[in-house]
Amino acid sequence: MHHFNYRDNELYCEDVPVKKIAEEVGTPFYLYSHATLKRHFMAFNEAFDGTRRLVCFSAKANTNLAILKLFESLGSGLDIVSGGELYRGLKAGFQPNRIVYSGVGKRIDEIDYALNTGILMFNVESLEELELINKRAGLLKLKAPIAIRVNPDVDPKTHPYISTGLKKNKFGIDIETAIEGYKVAKSLKNINVIGIDCHIGSQITEVQPFIDALKSIKVLINRLRDLKIEIKYLDIGGGLGITYNDESPPELNDYAGAIVKSLEGMPLQLILEPGRVIVGNAGILVTRVLYRKQGKDKEFIVVDAGMNDLARPSLYNAFHAIKPVVKSEDEPIKADVVGPICESGDFLAADRRISNVKKDDLLAVMSAGAYGFVMSSNYCSRLKLAEIMVRDDKFHVIRARQDYEDLIKGESIPPFL
């Protein structure tokens, strides 16, 4: 359920006609519904009622400050993967002790930043990283709280680019090596072992892979207890999928219920890192039809948003529903929806049955709230889009569209040229 609905054949976001926003801010733009964001976060959090947990929104899915601030105000923690995300999180007001830091390639400056900030824990992804965090914490005269990210080798049955918990993936540490890692960690002076972490992939539409991962982790926790290593926090990452097209991901209560049941009798504090399931269906990308074009074999709808604005279709062949902002009576057509970029991979939809839109009509690319704006680029010197948040009957620009000055910010021509 979300708040993008038709009224008299016209698409609204909450109580604001999408067309009105397009007229005022121009196209393309990302558009988020405050009510949907809020409801999704609260529903996720409440699904774990009765369990000690900290839901840490996964910043990478959508890092806009306004969106981070909203989740912070609803009691969220934050899952970060870079110094930049830490900076944003602090700007949005997150308490450091509600921030967890994952990622295989943490740099020294990022480690120091997180240590000085006093985050809840580092999710350590290699033994070399563990040594480095210990060393940096020593220099700063601090103790670094850590979890080891284990790779349980389960198949999340998702797109290969976003599966992370298989032994062929670069993420985490396999169970046997993790035990060695914990022994080393326990012996390090500036490390405080507090948790265990695991994230097996994204857009997962079944409960079973999560439960399989937990099974291995429980065994590991018990083995660690035998070694007198007590685990306080269990971070099970994010990854719950959403409906883009015809997927039927588990209901939140089924997902939460299965996790809680599988951890029965274990006195742990749970950490969850949901991203997509909170923001994915709370945002759309609004784009305008520039031209219709009849190719030899195909019909093309050329729109003003491209692969630089929404990379998912080109990158993963991902499906995003595309709806007309104003419905027409015409029979739908079959077409490719393509952007202005000089690459054949620049499409938002291929061979799609779609409304018979004309030049200047508006289209809504649905389910674009997660991994949309955050993965956009300035390729072809295209300006990054505006982001808009609607609340009730008002809209707010939460990121201004870039201008040409922004494009060359920081560039300089050396004196010899």
Positions that interact with ligand LLP (CB under 6 A): 58, 60-61, 79, 102, 162, 199, 202-203, 237-240, 273-277, 312, 316, 370-371
Residue number, 43 or 397, with CB nearest to ligand LLP: 43
| Nearest by Cα to 284 from 331, 320, 253, 319 | 320
Q: Tell me the HSE value of 394 on the side-chain side, using a 13 A CA sphere.
A: 3
Cα 386 from Cα 403, distance rounded (Å): 10
Q: Which is nearer to ligand LLP, 199 or 391 (CB)?
A: 199
Other Cβ atoms closer than 10 A to 30: 28
Matching residue, tokens 């265990």: 196
Angle at 246 between CA 244 and CA 248, to 5 degrees: 90
Q: How far is the CB of 159 from ligand LLP (least distance, A)?
A: 7
| Residue 53 beta carbon to ligand LLP: minimum distance, rounded to whole angstroms | 15
- Output the smallest distance, CB 241 to ligand LLP, in A: 7
Nearer to ligand LLP, 134 or 203 (CB): 203
Query: Do residues 365 and 287 touch, judged by C-beta distance below 8 A?
Result: yes
CB of 236 to ligand LLP, least distance (A): 9
Least CB distance to ligand LLP at residue 81 (A):
7
Strand 283-294 to strand 29-33: parallel, antiparallel, or no bridges (unpaired)? antiparallel
Kindly tell me which of 315 and 333 has the beta carbon lying closer to ligand LLP: 315
Q: Which residue among the candidates 13, 56, 342, 380 is catalytic per the annotation?
A: 342
Tell me whether residue 342 is one of the annotated catalytic residues. yes
**Total number of residues shown for the chain:** 417
DSSP string across 308-361: TT--HHHHH-----EEESB--SSPPEEEEEE-SSSSTT-EEEEEEEE----TT-
Closest CB 255 distance from ligand LLP, rounded Å: 11
Decide whether 199 or 384 has the Cβ nearer to ligand LLP: 199
Residue 199 to residue 404: CA distance in whole angstroms: 39
In terms of CB distance, is 149 or 384 closer to ligand LLP?
149
Backbone angle region of 9, left / alpha / beta, with phi > 0 → left and psi within -120 to 50 → alpha? left
Q: Which residues are catalytic, by number?
A: 342
